[in-house]
Structure 1
Amino acid sequence: MAQLPRLPLLPLSLARVQGRTLAKFCFSLLFLGGLLVGGWWWYFDSLPRPLFAKTHAQILLDRQGRLLSAHIADDGQWRFPAIEKVPDKFTIALTQFEDRRFQNHSGVDFLALIRATYDNLRQQRIVSGASTLSMQVIRLARGNPPRTLPEKIVEMFRAWRLESLYSKPEILQLYASHAPFGGNVVGLEAAAWRYFARDPEQLSWAEHALLAVLPNNPALIHPGRNRTQLLQKRNRLLARLYTVQVLSKLDYELAMAEPLPEAPHLLPRLAPHLLDTLAASYPQGERFQTTIDANLQQQLVTLAQRTGDQLALEGIQNLAILVLDNHSLATLAYIGNRPDRDYRAELGHAIDLIQRPRSSGSTLKPLLFADMLEQGMLLPDSLIADVPVNYTGFTPQNFNRQYHGAVSAREALARSLNIPFVNLLSLRGVDPFLMYLRQMGFQHLQRSARHYGLSLVLGGAETSLWELTVAYANLAHLAQTSTIKQAYWQQGRRLQTEIADSGRIATLSKATAWLTLDSLLDLARPGDEGYWDKFSSSRKVAWKTGTSYGQRDAWAIGTTPDYTVGVWVGNANGEGRASLTGTQTAAPILFNTFNFLPLGRAWFSSPEAQLTEVNICRNDGYLSNGFCQTKRVKIPLGSHFSRMTPYHQRIYLDASQQWRVNSECESISKMQARDWFVLPPDQAYYYKQYHADYQPLPPWRPDCVADLGHQQEALSVVYPQEATQVYLPRELDGKLGEVIFRAVPTHPEALLYWHLDNQFLGTTQSFHQMAVQPAAGKHRLAVVDESGQRIERQFEVLVHEDKSQ
């Protein structure tokens, strides 16, 4: 058998070499792949994303960063948002206790690791962990898993990665924000407030040392549980700080003498309603830096508590106070409701009544006053009718149920008379005034002008204390705005990040704002405040009150050049109280609030460059027609006011000056001209009750009456007005009472004839009143004077049912 040829040795050796090369290559590939996978894990997946996914508490801070209020986190932990800066004292104390070489290692302290390994092997148990602060941050981020060797290795690798992504101050920030401090307290800032009731920056060395050792064993903070051990740990750290010369001997001795804190403090609740409102507006917000002044807020919380307790005795459960800075429109104090830690829901204490819309009462009257001044439809001294009126079924009444005949616009504003302002709104128009209010920022006025009607200026619309106070602050802001720059409506600011400038050009001039505020100085203050002008130290306050229908809301809003204060008092459920009025209930709180504010600058300076002077009649405040005594007053430079006086006329008297005459019955040479102030009969009837010097027109001389021809004496029915609904009252015995009709001729001595539904009732002379008891339904009243002049009024009688039977 033929032998097989022998394979040469060279190819076999080559095969073996090639096999080893392939193995090395594969191993290299695996090693490289492992490195790539490890590198990928280390770079992209070694740290949780986000590092800390826990929810945070929402906190409210004042303008200087002091805590005002806080909401606990969703998981029931007092975990404040990440601290912005770790105090130097805490940094030193923490690193000396936990990680002395923190500034020098890259996440893992190998010297500490070697020492810990040696100690653990020698003791045959774990006595030292050698964890750096970076490793502890990783552990906190992973939810404190069991302490095992594999877990320690993972922590080391992730600590290296952490150090590559974050700076040393940022790592300290992460630790200080998420370390446990006992119970449900997480983070340095929450711990400082819970245990010491202060901001971390205000803590002493002893307090920072305590907080530095606490995360190492947070259970020690509880009263009665190993407190001696906690004290020893703190003192050892203080001794270390003294040894390394961080503390002087005196500081060390003082720190050692400080006791441990007792039970945790309740967190501040100085502005809980503002925090609720901001949290609802910014659900993702955690740290709200406000413009609040914490000192002023605390003072007003005390005032609100004291006043709220007094009002509760009268059945008035809620109040709100708002203070704004007129220059920046920043909120300085915000009391959203009567302070009550229990937040009793049945009394509405949890409701932010600064933002809740309520009936505005009379608080819109100054804004109508200002709007009509700006439009040239009014002057502060212009007379406005104050007599019974009826606007297609709407019959406004003054609060005191009295009539003054005619009052100046300034007086009507100072006395908050309803009828004159309804007459003014009728002249201005509801639509343009409603548009003006919306431009000022009244966002709750969403319905049509037809819906509100003339009651808009009397509380027929709802607005919030926030909107009203901001509007009055805008008046003060405009009254002192530089004439060089364009004026804009300002928005109220609660957060330091908010911008006041709304971008909307103001529709009021500086002069109009100044005149309006000047008119609001005339209001009589309540109680002892009524003597404010007797003291040189008293401040001027332009202010206005308001009371809603049914006495459900009491308002008081006042402004100085520096501050605007708004107050609302009432019941959140809308229940009225007889004692609830703006003057009696809200105004005292207003002036007590001003007493907590600095006096500030003097009153608004007169804007002379934006004012001009005109001659007006002294009696009625309209432009002179040449038949009245005049005075010069200042009005806005751009005012187009052009209404001549309707109340002054020139008359002619005979030589005795007792009778009116004309050229038909008297020689011109014997006639004496006189300028006379004459009001319409219905206005004159009430006006002369308050003005004893009012003189009616002299009567015509008898021989002149025949020559008057068509000229007749004026006659007016004061009550009832056209289309009035009249209620017949029931007397104590259950019988229907009577209604009193009133008429006013020019001369009281005139004889008047009264008719109801064409039935003669009788005559009156001197005192023109007629008591009648008409049946329920519609009727027509007619009054005729001796000259035959006739005036009629249609009205409807409504009868209150007797429910006692």
Structure 2
Amino acid sequence: MEMLEPARPACEPRVSARWRRWLYRTLLAATFAGLALAIAAVLWVRAQPLPLAALSPRTIASTRLEDRRGVLLREVLARPDGRAYWVPLEQISEQLIDATLAGEDQRFYQHGGVDVLAVLRAAALNVTQRRVVSGASTVTMQLARLLLQRRAPVSKRRGLWAKARQVALAIKLEALLPKKQILTQYLNRAPYGGGCFGVEAAARRYFGKPASQLSLAESTLLAALPRSPHGYSPLRPRSRRRLRRRQRYLLAAMHTQGRIDDEQLRIALGEPLALERLERPFLAPHFVASVKALPAAQGQARVRTTLDIRLQTQVEAIVRQTLRALTERGVSQAAVLVVDNASGDVLAHVGSRAFGDDAAGQVDGTRALRQPGSAIKPFVYALAFERALTPASLLRDLPAHFTTAYGDYAPRNYDGRYRGPVRARIALASSLNVPAIRVAERVGVTRLLDGLRELGFRDLRKDAEHYGLGLALGNGEVTLRQLVSAYATLARGGVTKPLRTLRATGAPGAAELEPAPQAKGKRVLSARAAHLIADILSDPVARVNTFGRYGPLETPFFAAVKTGTSKDFRDNWTVGFTRDVTVGVWVGNFDGSAMHNVSGVTGAGPLWREVMTQTVRHLGLRDRRPERPEGVVTARICPLSGKLAGPHCPDRAEELFYAEKRPRERCAFHRALWVDRLDGSRTLPHCPGASEQVVVFYPPAYRSWAAARGEPTPPQRWSARCPGVEANTAREETVKRPQIRFPAAGDIYYLDADLQRRYQRIPLEVNVRGSPKVVSWLVDGKVVAKATYPFSASWPLSPGKHRVEAVLPDGHRSAAVSFEVR
């Protein structure tokens, strides 16, 4: 067979005597200059310590980021070294070592770092050819260049001085290191293109196998790459042809040097080389970026994360599908976080619709600061449950005004309606705003802010006065990560634990992974408070007033869930948990633009349900309700009053209580009265037409609300057919002094310079007994309104100090209430 010989230089052309003299002088001058430069460089390098740290394998290790089962998510190239796996010389194919020496340094074992013969031969050849056709860098010099260029700026990596430094360091390396170590260092550092440094990384990248298992043909192909990683790149068709020519040259050189025989040459030349189509994975990009930045991941060869890539892929598909359906409503982005409750492990992390879409796609929505809206309310109630509040406590869902440092604050419910007396369970599950403000007022804004910070909302950095009572409605900024972590705290029974993204790490060359330390939990809520919140958020009947039944918040398994919407529909949240996992969802636009009438039920809710259902299915989780902690008991209450059900209560409900807070009083709302069947007036049992009926007696604060809704009220008039009615009528018609409910004494209101004066008014509200026809309202002694039942009015704000009074037709008047407008 025809043997391939290494390329040989062309025959030296004839030159004139003048040319020979010029050549002699040039070589002589170059020789002296080179010697002088080399001596200076040697002296300089000898004065420098050997860069032992630069010789460490750790300095060039790339990092493999894996999911919880070892699936590669991304291999992060350590700059400027790129992908690299350090291996000892014994784990590198001997044929690859021979091919490297055949092509780069035939006299490796004969020189001391600089091959003088090769230098002279190359200089003569380059001069005669009048261009650079041959180099004389040895393997040791190339190693010196790789070590020096890591510390030198780009502008100083070329030129005679840089070459002299390489020569000097090569001599020093040869003097201090054995040949085997020099060869090991070079083969683990040499560039092989495609971001690969070292033969092990190149073997895995191009052939999908370790360097110890390379064939002769594969070894010579890799050995050709360090000379020109880009020019010989096997990833480009044009350069691939040049690579094959270089490979054949190396095979011929190895044959000529006696490193391989005829049969080996024949087999290698005929071996087809199938390059591994190994794409660089970049899965879960936002998650990978967050793990990569962790101090514990720095300098590690392998990082085993908490992510479940199969679940991650499913969640990403659900996000894309849901966003397509919401495009017409002005929704462009979403973020999702799935967390294992027991460990805090992040199982899925979607930061945007698609990382590669545009610049917005690279924003991580799980870390963006946004107003949570009502998603913060469960923690307001949890902190209140630790004090006097119970799920059965009555809260007034009525128009209300609260005095703050910034003036009058009048919250409104999402739907603009008010529900009168509501239990805390209903108020939280139905996400009513006014009751939440009342709860926050009971807790105190300072204590509420401290409690939220302890739950992990670290970005609530301003003082309590800045947030005010609006903190209960989510006017502070939090992240999805913080919300999910706080909800997972509820799922763990009040124990907070940081979210974990890293399970184990492996240093370069380590055979086993070292488990990452697991943070200990810290109790921030009582188990009883957390259990009550979980029970309320999983109650579909309690949320029916706002959300209806059988919507996206209901699942076929136990799940506690809460929605939130920020002002002007800019952010939409749904966060919920089972005993095993917590899922948090944010929907909106990264530029802060408003969505088109998207609420928790229509925006984040459906996405949350799909993700939660898929997570439970994927993990094979069982339907398990939380175990009731010690000290929590049940009682049968009246759903309207929240007290123990009495004999006249038409309905009953089971409610949870702290054992020491179990109600002792019976319902006083539902009472039995004798009424005249003829006209519905009050009567006595012995009177004609008497019939016993159950009537609702609302406390005074709710009577205006009840009347406005057309709720039945107890009859005020006594039946004329009943003897002794005159005495009863006189007693019932006696009107007591009225009491002003609003405004309160000492209130201060501030005029808004940006709002038209006609829109700046305060309500006037009063409690009265009996049935007067009208109540007159006086401000500063002047009648400003006359109001019939329920006797409420409003007054336009005017700067100054004022006094308000309520006057009945018979002349009875309330105590004067003083307030100020600024």
- TM-score normalised according to structure 2 size: 0.67
Q: Does 1:614 align with 2:635?
A: yes
Residue type of the alignment partner of 1:181: Y
- The offset of 1:604, in angstroms, is 1.8
- The offset of 1:547, in angstroms, is 1.4
Change (3 A) 1:678 1:214: farther
Q: Does 1:62 align with 2:81?
A: no
Residue of structure 1 equivalent to 2:42: none
Q: Does 1:379 align with 2:384?
A: no
Q: What is the rounded CA distance, in whole Å, between the counterparts of 1:500 and 1:711 in structure 2?
A: 69
Residue of structure 1 equivalent to 2:409: 394
- The offset of 1:325, in angstroms, is 0.9
Q: What is the rounded CA distance, in whole Å, between the counterparts of 1:149 and 1:654 in structure 2?
A: 114
Query: Is the contact made by 1:324 and 1:332 (CA closer than 8 Å) also made in structure 2?
Result: yes
Q: Does 1:369 align with 2:368?
A: no
Change (3 A) 1:216 1:723: closer
- Indicate which of 237, 250, 257 corresponds to 1:224: 237
- The offset of 1:385, in angstroms, is 1.1
- The offset of 1:387, in angstroms, is 0.1
Secondary structure of 2:569's match? coil
Residue type of the alignment partner of 1:683: Y
Query: Is the contact made by 2:638 and 2:652 (CA closer than 8 Å) also made in structure 1?
Result: yes
Residue type of the alignment partner of 1:223: R
Query: Is the contact made by 2:352 and 2:365 (CA closer than 8 Å) also made in structure 1?
Result: yes
- Indicate which of 464, 468, 473 corresponds to 1:458: 473
- The offset of 1:539, in angstroms, is 3.7
Q: Does 1:678 align with 2:697?
A: yes
Query: Is the contact made by 2:391 and 2:424 (CA closer than 8 Å) also made in structure 1?
Result: yes
Residue of structure 2 equivalent to 1:494: 501
Q: What is the rounded CA distance, in whole Å, between the counterparts of 1:206 and 1:268 in structure 2?
A: 32
Q: What is the rounded CA distance, in whole Å, between the counterparts of 1:640 and 1:153 in structure 2?
A: 85
Indicate the percent of aligned positions where both proteins have the same amino acid. Answer: 25
Residue of structure 2 equivalent to 1:514: 531
Higher mean C-alpha deviation, range 611-620 or range 439-448: 611-620
Secondary structure of 2:637's match? strand
Q: What is the rounded CA distance, in whole Å, between the counterparts of 2:384 and 2:343 in structure 1?
A: 27
**Which ranges of structure 2 fall in alignment gaps of 5 or more residues?**
1-44, 102-106, 126-132, 150-156, 255-266, 505-515, 719-725
Change (3 A) 1:501 1:286: closer
Higher mean C-alpha deviation, range 641-650 or range 318-327: 641-650
- Indicate which of 574, 577, 580 corresponds to 1:562: 580
Query: Is the contact made by 1:193 and 1:265 (CA closer than 8 Å) also made in structure 2?
Result: no
- The offset of 1:557, in angstroms, is 0.8
Q: What is the rounded CA distance, in whole Å, between the counterparts of 1:298 and 1:781 in structure 2?
A: 65
Q: Deviations over 1:464-517 (max 9, x none)?
A: 211110010111122xxxxxxxx74211112226655445334321x4323322
Number of residue pairs the alignment of both structures matches: 695
Q: What is the rounded CA distance, in whole Å, between the counterparts of 2:366 and 2:552 in structure 1?
A: 30
Residue type of the alignment partner of 1:588: P
Change (3 A) 1:342 1:632: closer
Secondary structure of 2:315's match? helix
Residue of structure 2 equivalent to 1:268: 282
Residue of structure 1 equivalent to 2:10: none
Q: Deviations over 1:70-91 (max 9, x none)?
A: 666555x6x14x54789xxx98
Q: What is the rounded CA distance, in whole Å, between the counterparts of 2:348 and 2:336 in structure 1?
A: 8
- Indicate which of 343, 366, 379 corresponds to 1:354: 366
Query: Is the contact made by 1:277 and 1:352 (CA closer than 8 Å) also made in structure 2?
Result: no
Q: What is the rounded CA distance, in whole Å, between the counterparts of 2:754 and 2:674 in structure 1?
A: 47
- TM-score normalised according to structure 1 size: 0.68
Higher mean C-alpha deviation, range 187-196 or range 210-219: 187-196
Q: Deviations over 1:213-261 (max 9, x none)?
A: 46455323251334246468889999x9xxxxxxxxxxx99x9667446
Change (3 A) 1:646 1:625: closer
Q: What is the rounded CA distance, in whole Å, between the counterparts of 2:215 and 2:580 in structure 1?
A: 41
Q: Deviations over 1:305-354 (max 9, x none)?
A: 5555666665545432211111211111222344342652xxx5544332
Q: What is the rounded CA distance, in whole Å, between the counterparts of 1:211 and 1:588 in structure 2?
A: 55
Residue of structure 1 equivalent to 2:489: 474
- Indicate which of 51, 54, 58 corresponds to 1:50: 54
Alignment of 1:61-460 (within 5 A): 61-69=66-74, 75=80, 79-80=82-83, 83=85, 94-98=93-97, 140-141=146-147, 158-160=176-178, 163=181, 178-182=189-193, 184-187=195-198, 212-213=222-223, 215-217=225-227, 218=229, 219-228=232-241, 230=243, 259-260=274-275, 268=282, 270-272=284-286, 275=289, 279=293, 289-305=304-320, 315-341=330-356, 343-344=358-359, 348-375=360-387, 377-392=388-403, 393-460=408-475
Higher mean C-alpha deviation, range 54-63 or range 561-570: 54-63
Change (3 A) 1:57 1:741: same
Residue of structure 2 equivalent to 1:753: 775
Change (3 A) 1:747 1:151: closer
Q: What is the rounded CA distance, in whole Å, between the counterparts of 1:221 and 1:111 in structure 2?
A: 33
Residue type of the alignment partner of 1:698: P
Change (3 A) 1:444 1:45: closer
Query: Is the contact made by 2:739 and 2:766 (CA closer than 8 Å) also made in structure 1?
Result: yes
Higher mean C-alpha deviation, range 513-522 or range 415-424: 513-522
Secondary structure of 1:365's match? helix
Query: Is the contact made by 1:297 and 1:332 (CA closer than 8 Å) also made in structure 2?
Result: yes
- Indicate which of 703, 707, 713 corresponds to 2:731: 707
How much is the aligned-residue C-alpha RMSD, in angstroms? 5.8
Residue type of the alignment partner of 2:601: T
Residue type of the alignment partner of 1:227: R
Residue of structure 2 equivalent to 1:29: none
Q: What is the rounded CA distance, in whole Å, between the counterparts of 1:190 and 1:302 in structure 2?
A: 33
Q: What is the rounded CA distance, in whole Å, between the counterparts of 2:740 and 2:249 in structure 1?
A: 97
Q: Does 1:579 align with 2:597?
A: yes
- The offset of 1:400, in angstroms, is 1.3
Change (3 A) 1:184 1:324: same
Q: What is the rounded CA distance, in whole Å, between the counterparts of 2:218 and 2:788 in structure 1?
A: 93
Change (3 A) 1:790 1:651: farther
